[in-house]
Amino acid sequence: MKKVWMVADSVVSPLGSTSHANYQKLRQGISGITLVDDPRLSPGPFFGGPILELPKDAALTRFEMISSMAIADL
């Protein structure tokens, strides 16, 4: 079996924008899953993990902002 080396990791989720923040929330039993009731996303409510608090940057899309946050943490 080959050895595997992890150089860096990063997680951006509803629980936080760093791996450490996410891990601490999970250890506390906190979940990022919540009931989402937004007709723009679905005709009916569903359970999901929305990332609500993102910095505002008119030059970046939501996906680009989340990617940028993950890369910055590395």
Contact in structure between 46 and 36 (CB atoms under 8 Å): yes
Question: Going residue by residue through the chain (74 aa), what tens digit of pLDDT does each one get?
Answer: 888 887 888 889 999 988 899 999 999 999 999 999 999 999 999 999 998 888 887 899 989 998 988 888 77
Calculate the CA 26 to chain-centre distance. 13
